[in-house]
Chains A and B, each alone.
Chain A
């Protein structure tokens, strides 16, 4: 079965700093990857997804992620964070078979104003 690792559990940044959150998955075959975000007091929502094609994926709110197959990674990036980006970020992968989504443990980002 697939697994997902998010190495940073807590990240604190100042506004305008650049962000990179790490995500590694275990499976070497065809992968389908997601980043979800959970703002304080809100439901999880999709930031971006990768199924195939251009490995650099652009999402909402200025976020992007790069799929690097050789490194089994799908890191999330944003060039300049804002206070409103304070949230918990989850990397996820669809398990082989296509029915289960496996989530990473999440990374809590706090952006200081």
Chain B
């Protein structure tokens, strides 16, 4: 158990819908990272937040957005869902704001878009 929690574990929805994925970092960690893992693209970095502020952006679509709340949990919002958005979405947390520290990963949310 890494100490990072993600809900829900599984999500099945239809094209065009909107979903929210939730991540709670390890106690004391201020940074949250979001990743998308799909069969054809591997593990792709989406976005990072540090202490409530966006720090780095990766290959995140405009239909996707994220935020980190004062209690440091983070939510990833995916809208106008397409079949290709089906993937595993992981979050990870670290103590500092850079990637030099080990990232602790959550168990992931498996999103299926039908």
Complex alpha-carbon distance, A46 and B56, angstroms: 21
Q: Please provide the chain B residues from 29 to 71 with a CB less than 8 Å away from any CB of chain A in the complex.
A: 33, 35, 42-45, 48, 55-56, 58
The contact of A103 among B45, B55, B104, by CB within 8 Å, is B45
Complex alpha-carbon distance, A93 and B67, angstroms: 25
A98 with B100: CB separation less than 8 A: yes
A101 with B103: CB separation less than 8 A: yes
Q: Per-residue 0/1 for A37-61: is the Cβ within 8 Å of any B Cβ (1 yes, 0 no)? A: 0000011111001010000000000
The contact of A45 among B42, B97, B98, B105, by CB within 8 Å, is B105
State the Cβ distance, A95 to closest chain B Cβ, in Å: 8
- Interface size band for B: 20 to 34
Which B residues lie within 8 Å of A97 (CB)?
A: 56
Q: Given A43-B105, A100-B48, A101-B33: A94 and B99 within 8 A (CB)?
A: yes
A99 with B105: CB separation less than 8 A: no
Could you list 15 further interchain pairs (A-B, Cβ under 8 angstroms) beyond the known A43-B107, A98-B98? A42-B107, A43-B2, A43-B106, A45-B2, A46-B103, A49-B102, A90-B43, A94-B100, A98-B100, A99-B98, A100-B45, A100-B58, A101-B45, A101-B99, A103-B42
